[in-house]
Amino acid sequence: MKILVGLSGGVDSAVAAYLLKEQGYDVTCCFMRNWDSFANNDIEGNPTILQDTCPQEQDYMDAQAVAKKLDLPLQRVDYIKEYWDYVFTYFLDEYKKGRTPNPDILCNKYIKFDAFFKRAMDLGFDAVATGHYASTTTKDGFTYLSRAADHNKDQTYFLCQVSKEAFQHTLFPLGSLTKPQVRAIAQKLELDSVSTKKDSTGICFIGERDFRAFLTNYIPNKEGNIIDIDTGKVLGKHIGCMYYTIGQRKGLNITAHKGPWFVAGKDVTANILYVCRSDHKDWLYSDSCIVTGINWLTDPSYLIPEECTCKFRYRQPDQKIQLERIDDTTARVSYPQKIASVTVGQEAVFYDGNICLGGGVIDQVFIGEEDLNQKIIAKTREN
């Protein structure tokens, strides 16, 4: 089989390429460049803007070193326009609405397993492979996305919006390995450019940024009031609702009033940020939500259970839930134990044991029959 491996310049994809070659596949590597700081006005909040070599080019040089060491061909492809059009524009639009999107999920959906995947198929490859910590399970001729052996690193959460057809032609070589094992393989192979390289963090394909400063390149600051839900008092000023997420504690700059304080709600139209004190954190808790745009990853014959588990954010322990399907892509998700900081705009990802059923965007959050955010706004207006 001919395999096209996404080689990022990091340790995970490097070891993935090595393992596939060892298993006898015909392996070609491909480096994707999806961001151009100067073309995209990525100036404020960019700690590397004045460096002689930008991080993307350093990653490419590291990928070249890996490919040379493994004696594998390396291609390079740019998806800068596609990333801007399908990932970053949506990312900004959601932030303007006061929602909290996940760019890693969007990048997997539109770039790695769409543009890159289609290119591989058009070039005659049999499958693609990446360094994700995930695996697949084939049953009755259908390939399901399933968790990695290393549950601490499992990345199926970020793959929930990928087309299920793509997983029929995708390999995850790291599915049975832990991160320490991957680094040990890289060190044994003397892949010096990546073996001790720290994991990439920050925004997918953009990197680490001073997030507030970064957003000012694209969205102007808009100062507004920070209001205590319980008293209706103005506690301070924020710089724009889009800069804060539900449950956030740090960076609120509330100094004259004893806390700690947590972001509990937003009124984007009125530009108000609502907070609760640590002794009134019940304002953070919900018992159900509406999830829209669900991408189901199962075969049509698979019976999706009404009772399963869900992650409302990455690395969150599995939460027991009940699914009430409203239509093909919408569901009401109820949880018997109230959960804190379920956030509009983030992803809810469903699991049946180790099988990832799919996921969608959290659109509304409820306590009882009331929209939690609207309840918070109404409470402060009473005050």
- Please name the amino acid found at residue 143: T
Q: Distance (Å, rounded) from C-alpha 202 to C-alpha 230?
A: 34
Among 54, 107, 160, 289, the active-site one is: 107
Pick the catalytic residue: 29, 54, 160, 204? Answer: 204
**Structural tokens at position 188:** 């044994």
Give the integer Cα–Cα distance in Å for 4 and 62.
Answer: 18
| Residue 356 appears among annotated catalytic residues | no
How far, rounded to the nearest angstrom, does the alpha carbon of residue 316 sit from its chain's CA centroid? 13
Other CB atoms within 10 A of residue 227 CB: 24
> Length of the chain in residues, anyone?
383
* Beta-strand pair 170-171/127-129: parallel
Pairing of strands 2-6, 127-129: parallel
Residue 54 catalytic?
A: no
Report DSSP letters for 71-127, one per residue: T--EEEEE-HHHHIIIIIHHHHHHHHTT----HHHHHIIIIIIIIHHHHHHHTT-SE
Torsion of CA 60, 65, 68, 73, to 10 degrees: -10
Closest CA to 96 of 215, 181, 11: 215
Beta bridge partners of 309: 320, 351
Measuring CA to CA, how many Å separate 156 from each of 30, 128, 326? 22, 16, 24
Integer Cα distance of 81 and 86 in angstroms: 8
Report the catalytic residues.
107, 204
